[in-house]
Chain A
């Protein structure tokens, strides 16, 4: 195996058959390269979609009022439905399986937030304390809104990390400071971060306070809740809520436009299936690529051996044993396929790294990478199968009588 002379013989053969070596090597390297790129892209697609869904709590149900589209009990269609605090309380009272719930009141105004002489336009949102969990956000400093803030109509606010950075450029601690929202002073009680960067440019204030200071009385515009129950049961929850609201607001229970209910749990389930589909798809393509690679490499190995039949005959006539002939061809092919496979692996992984570090993550593509073990075993598989594919014709060629081989012109 580590006979220097044998290696010299192999290297001199490789050096003098550059095209053959290149073609064999290229087919192996290309097979591996494509496999890595495919597996990596599939993973990137999967990462992208999964991250998009993890930005908000995945198991949430959203309710917002619309306009009736079916006449009901003497009411004409086109009537606007309005949610109130009572609807919110009623849902908490009657619906089982709620994990977190929050309502929101949309108030007017520019959304201009200022601290001393620093101004910024941010998304100011009124909500309940549970909104922290619904947004999948995290408290970085201080605290989030709490029940007492709601009950006592406190003018407090929790701001996102970039908001704090924009307003407090002198490095002061924002907590305890007062900011102006639509010209009304709110005290900062905490700073939060959110997995979705766009959702961080936000300022949260208690919904009750917003109703009071911005003239909302008891109106709310949206109810959001999360649940941990399975899909079928969450579907039942939405039906229950729709029936409840239909009764209270006098609209037809089949009127889907009166109240919109958006159940992301169902969507998430669908996306889970999509992920599974993508994963299976990527694997099918991957396995297909490996098979195509094996077939290609085997073909080339067979042609190479066929091409060398005469050489084998000559070598045998001048005293080469069949074993030494097969050994020479096998070592050469394993050397080429192994080296080329490694190159393909390096280039494939390198390209993925390049893409992943230079391409901005989009909603549908993020951090393409490949399981290194999978990549290495695929390379090994290709090299071994190439060797096996060469072994059969090489053994056959070595068994041919030298005279037959020598006649082969």
Chain B
């Protein structure tokens, strides 16, 4: 489903160049439940942004569903995001002036689904999240866990192949975090690939594959060291 081939990414700020991803090789198959771990600055969020076609990369190849994603126009990227990917963010990123139902229905607006149909669908997804009675509340009237469940419902409504979650439990307490993880598991059980970026071990433990990043390289996958091999490659690249 997702394939990285020797992927490099640098951020240029003024005269400084920050090499964030230093040659990543990665393969995530369809239906996997993956967590990406690493300390801050290890490049995990950057990787997620590239997964989500929210950011571009400098070198290497990225295949999404066997499609090469490179130098994509904004318009095409938007269409691919809409079709393939659902996002869940740490800060929820709900539109504050829209109620839960409208937030969930919004992705369908960009698929030109009629208002009536998308509201029915959004209601269905909210029911699945146990939020039917909160459908007409604004985000600031909901608790953190409820907001995240609304965001998850929004990410699911387009029937995506991949859910990308960036620290989805970062703003939630432990109990709520586990509830959210349970949700991700259920989603994964339906065959949707779920990729979760986190720095919490107990969250990562609840996924089937743990990818650890360190200094822009993959340190280990499910505990198996891959660091040395990668390190050599970086030296060769330089």
Contact = CB atoms under 8 A, between A and B. Distances in A.
Interface string B50-68: 0010110000000000000
Interface stretch (B14-22, B107-115, B203-211, B221-229): B107-115
Nearest to B74: A322
B75 interface: yes
Given A314-B94, A318-B110, 9 more contacts: A5-B114, A8-B115, A314-B93, A319-B78, A319-B110, A321-B110, A322-B74, A322-B75, A322-B78
A317 B87 contact: yes
Given A319-B158, A401-B55, A9 B109 contact: yes
**Most chain B beta-carbon contacts within 10 A, residue among A316, A319, A324, A403:** A319
Interface stretch (B95-103, B142-150, B181-189): B95-103
Interface residues of A, number: 28
Contacts of A406: 89, 91, 93
A311 interface: yes
Given A322-B74, A322-B78, A323-B75, A317 B93 contact: yes
A164 B98 CA distance: 76
6 contacts: A5-B109, A13-B97, A313-B93, A315-B95, A322-B78, A324-B110
B67 to A, nearest CB: 16
Given A9-B109, A13-B97, A314-B95, A321 B55 contact: no
A403 to B, nearest CB: 5
B180 interface: no
A12 interface: yes
Interface in B89-138: 89, 91, 93-95, 97-98, 102, 106-107, 109-112, 114-115
A317 B81 contact: yes
Given A13-B97, A399-B74, A319 B111 contact: yes
A320 interface: yes
B154 interface: yes
A402 interface: yes
B79 interface: yes
Contacts of B74: 316, 321-322, 398-399
A12 B55 CA distance: 31
B81 A318 contact: yes
A406 B54 CA distance: 11
B82 interface: yes
A311 B54 contact: no
A403 B110 contact: no
A9 B110 CA distance: 11
B49 interface: yes
A1 to B, nearest CB: 15
A314 B88 CA distance: 11
Contacts of A310: 93
B170 to A, nearest CB: 14
Interface string A285-325: 00000000000000000000000001101111111111110
What 9 A-B pairs have minimum CB-CB distances, sorted nearest first? A319-B82, A16-B97, A318-B107, A319-B110, A321-B78, A321-B75, A403-B54, A322-B74, A402-B54
Nearest to A3: B112
A407 to B, nearest CB: 9
B93 A403 contact: no
B55 A319 contact: no
Nearest to B102: A12
A280 to B, nearest CB: 47
Contacts of B87: 317-318
Interface in A128-143: none
Contacts of A314: 93-95
A73 interface: no
A401 to B, nearest CB: 6
Contacts of A323: 75
